[in-house]
Amino acid sequence: MISLTSPVKTKAHDWPAAAKLAGLCVMTMILFFIEDLALQAVFFCCVLVLYALPGSRFLRAGLGPLKLLWPFIVIVAIWHLWTNEIALGAIVILRLVSAVALANLMTMTTRLSDMIDVVRSLTRPLNQLGLKPNVLELAIALVIRLTPVLVQKGTHLSDAWRARSRRKAGWRIILPFTVVALDDADHVAEALRARGGFDPLEST
């Protein structure tokens, strides 16, 4: 999941979060059972249609962040070209992009609080085992909320590099990006402590 809730209101925003999460799980499972390249391509086209239905603004907002997948796509493509399994590589790439796009579509049309409520309901039985699901709830919320923030900061670092050099940034921004991520983690930890901290042993 790499986007926050979309500013464009769609009908899917009013659907129950539990139903959308269940649908996401089912569709992802179906993806991994499809071994035919043509069917994978059809599935991917259907995902694109889902993005296009709410309009061009929603389409751009949804597909833009998917560009972050290009390093993984390149690695998969190079490997399968090396092993001479081009069709299999195409299937893996389509499966990867479709799965991430579906998860991204859910986060765009679902409030974070609604997703956390679903997680809380699913993990409530863990209380009977002495485990505290509030740790998982917080972790999911932080991942969903902070991932787009880090993506945006990584983009700003790349833009700053391009403004100062004709060479591509590439690996050169890894170190400053790591520093930025660690700095954000410190700020989040300080914010949690300022609000009373977070004790995983406390009951929810």
Tens digit of each residue's pLDDT (9 = 90 or more) over 85-117: 999 999 999 999 999 999 888 888 888 778 778
Q: What is the pTM of this model?
A: 0.68
Rg of the chain over Cα atoms, rounded to whole angstroms, equals 20
- pLDDT of 172: 76
Say yes or no to pLDDT of 35 above 50: yes
Q: Give per-residue pLDDT as tens, 6-31.
A: 767 888 888 888 888 899 999 999 99
User: What percentage of the chain has pLDDT greater than the value 70?
Assistant: 85
CB-count burial class (<10 Å; 0-12, 13-18, 19+) for 5: middle
The residue-averaged pLDDT of 55-60 equals 85
CA 106 to each of CA 46, 130, 155, 199: distance values in angstroms, whole numbers, following the listed order: 15, 31, 23, 30
Q: Which of 39-43, 122-126, 147-151 has the highest mean pLDDT?
A: 39-43
With a cut of 80, say whether residue 45 has pLDDT above it.
yes
pLDDT tens for residues 117-137? 887 787 777 677 766 667 666
**φ and ψ of 140, to 5 deg:** -65, -45
Which of the four pLDDT bands, split at 50, 70 and 90, describes residue 197?
low
Decide: helix, strand or coil at residue 200.
Answer: coil
The reported pLDDT for the residue numbered 204 is 43
- Of 197, 23, 203, 196, the C-alpha closest to 130 is 203
| Whole-Å CA distances, 45 to 8, 41, 52, 101, 202 | 21, 6, 10, 11, 46
Q: Mean pLDDT, the chain, as a whole number?
A: 81
Distances (CA, A) of 159 to 156, 162, 164, 174: 5, 5, 9, 14
**DSSP class per residue in 46-71:** HHHHHHHTT-HHHHHHHHGGGGGGHH
**Position 1 pLDDT exceeds 60:** no
